[in-house]
Amino acid sequence: MPQVLFTLHNGTVMSVAAATGHSVMEAARNNGVPGIVAECGGAAMCATCHVYVDPKWLGKIAAMSDFEDELLEGTGSPRMETSRLSCQIPIDDGLDGLEVTVPPSQY
Amino acid sequence: MEKSSVVVAGAGQAALSLVAKLRAEGHSGTITVVGAETTMPYQRPPLSKGYLLGKQKLDQLLLRPREFYEQSAVDLRLGQSIVSIHPASKEVALAGGDVIPYDELVLATGSTARQWPAALGGTLRGIHTLRSLDDAHVLQAELSSAKSVLVIGGGYIGLEIASALRSLNLAVTVVEAQPRILNRVAGPETASHFRLLHQENGVRIIENTAIRRLHGSDRVEAAKLADGQLIACDLVVVGIGGAPETKLAEMAGLHVDNGIVTNELGKTSSSSIWAAGDCTSIDMGGRRIRLESVGNAIDQAETVAMNIIGRRTAYVPRPWFWTEQYGVRMQIVGLSMGHDETILRTETDGKRKSCWYFKNSALIAVDAINDPQAFLAGRRIIDAGILLDMSTLREPEVDLRNLGKTADIR
């Protein structure tokens, strides 16, 4: 299974196995990655699964919808160029080694 | 306190959020979660949407994998139920005879779907409610042979099911006894939008008409409406609301009023007994209301967790909801009940709509259809208690991204 590397707020890096077809949010939830809330469960409604994607991966992940783009304006931690909702990034084999950073807060 | 032994009645969203928060904040006492369903805590919202259609798998519904409970030392007792609470001795009794002592007891018993009355044909085969995973599986099994479906109730659950069933090309009729669909939860403008959306997608919507009785010899075959017309159907889905699961609380002598009465700390009328989620009623402006939503279950449960470990935290309701039908997404912030003025916006692209509800000139709720900017602006304004200049909101060209930030504050 592809590995996804989450850098936590305290600097620790968690490497988790992510099933293809699952989202980055689901991989985080299933592996106990702290700091990903995902209140709406992956429906892209709440913006509490916000992550910063390492710039070198930005071109390889699924493109952002307008809806996600607008919802990202409501994240609890500041939005940056690399901000994405992790529920909107499906895992495939090409994403083995994907690096994302969990923001300090989701509210 | 941090070493207290905690027993949780119920194993849904509130129960999971409670135990996750307890452990995250350093609680080290025993935790026992007792739930009647046999599945680990899972998300209910997808049951009337993607999961019903087979677009999501069960493991995607689970709020945490099994390892979480093992690693967190949570004794998850599924398929079991608490039959009585003994506040004096601080014990609960399970159906099998086990007795579990507690320092702190949390009632997270949720709600149950209201059933169609047996006296009105409710015992016929082919009549279902949708609340649990088992309900979803039973309904799924019926869908392959169904042709025409009657949905009783035009609330969010009924409308979401209608949307899902239309994507399977089933004939769908929605009957609502109230004057219009979404009568309790949204204004007439939002209701009109969804009525049209359903009609465009081939759903027949009948409002302001009660169902007198369901008919059939063994299986349901038709519904007789109050106006005399007969609607043929071979499957009925009943979405007429839920009732809070308060039986245990009542037996234990707790104060119950439209749900288990909780104070701002999440405490019930009995010491060492707390409650969170759909089963509770909270005070909002002098009324005891129930906030049946995921967000509320999480917030209440986390508040209770903090108070159990002795870090006093008051619960501040921040109601928000969402629905998705035919790919149209609506986010709702606030509660629109009691509004005395509405402003309707359609953005220049013609696709984004929002309905802004005011009471005494203060914004109390926003229905944002395909419009996250309106949702976020509404949340910003309501959270901060900002008094919005309504004329700004009536400007077609106003940029919602800036609304509630500076200039429009009066």
- CB–CB contact A41 B45 (8 Å): yes
Give the ipTM.
Answer: 0.94
Question: Where exactly are the structural domains of chain B?
Answer: 6-112+243-308, 115-238, 327-402
Please give the model's pTM, rounded to 2 decimal places: 0.95
B6-112+243-308 and B327-402: identical CATH topology: no
Instruction: State the best of A23, A33, A39, A49 to mutate against chain B, taking most chain B CBs within 10 Å.
Output: A39
Cα–Cα distance measured from residue B177 to residue B170, given in angstroms and rounded to the nearest whole number:
22
What is the pLDDT at residue B366?
98
**CATH 3.40.50.10420: does it fit domain B115-238?**
no
Cβ contact, residue pair B376, A41, below 8 Å? no
Nearest by CB: B376 against A31, A42, A74:
A74
- Taking CB atoms and an 8 Å limit, are A26 and B379 in contact across chains? no
b/e burial code for range B218-243 (CB count within 10 A of at least 16 → b): eebbbbbbeeeeebebbbbbbbbebe
Closest residue on chain B to A32 (Cα):
B68
* Cβ distance of B376 and A71 shorter than 8 Å: yes
Please give the residue of chain B at the shortest CA–CA distance from A48: B295
The Cα of A63 is separated from the nearest Cα of chain B by a number of Å equal to 18
Could you state, in chain order, the average pLDDT of each consecutive group of 10 residues for chain B (410 residues)? Answer: 93 98 97 98 96 94 96 98 97 97 98 98 98 97 96 98 97 98 95 98 98 98 97 98 97 97 97 97 91 96 98 95 97 95 94 96 97 96 90 92 69
Q: Using CA coordinates, name the residue in chain A closest to B328.
A: A67
Going from the C-alpha of B182 to that of each of B153, B185, B187, B239, the distances in angstroms are 9, 5, 8, 12
Residues of B in contact with A39 (CB under 8 A): 294-295, 298
Could you tell me if B280 and B296 are in contact, meaning their C-beta atoms sit under 8 angstroms apart?
A: no
Nearest CA-CA partner of A1 in A23, A25, A22, A17: A17
- For B223, the token pair is 């519904």
**Alpha-carbon B70 to chain mean position:** 29
**Which chain A residues contact residue B375 at CB under 8 A?**
74
Q: What is the pLDDT of residue B88?
A: 95
DSSP string of B208-228, one letter each residue: S--EEEEE-SSB--EEEETTS
Spatial CA neighbour of B180 closest among B170, B169, B194: B194
Q: Is the dihedral of CA B9, B15, B16, B22 positive or negative?
A: negative
CA–CA distance, A82 with B314 (Å, rounded to integer): 35
Residues in Cβ contact with B370 at an 8 Å cutoff, skipping those fewer than 6 apart: A67, B328, B329, B330, B351, B352, B353
Q: Per-residue pLDDT tens for A45-104?
A: 999 999 999 999 999 999 999 999 999 999 999 999 999 999 999 999 999 999 999 999
Does domain B6-112+243-308 match CATH 3.50.50.60?
Answer: yes
pLDDT of A26 above 50: yes
**Residue B121: C-alpha distances to residues A33, B154, B211, B225 (Å):** 49, 20, 11, 13
Q: Which CATH superfamily is domain B327-402 in?
A: FAD/NAD-linked reductase, C-terminal dimerisation domain (3.30.390.30)
Cross-chain Cβ contact A22/B372 below 8 Å: no
B69 → chain A, closest CA residue: A32
Task: Say yes or no: B376 contacts chain A, CB-CB below 8 A.
Answer: yes
| List of chain B residues whose C-beta atoms are within 8 Å of the C-beta of residue A31 | 65
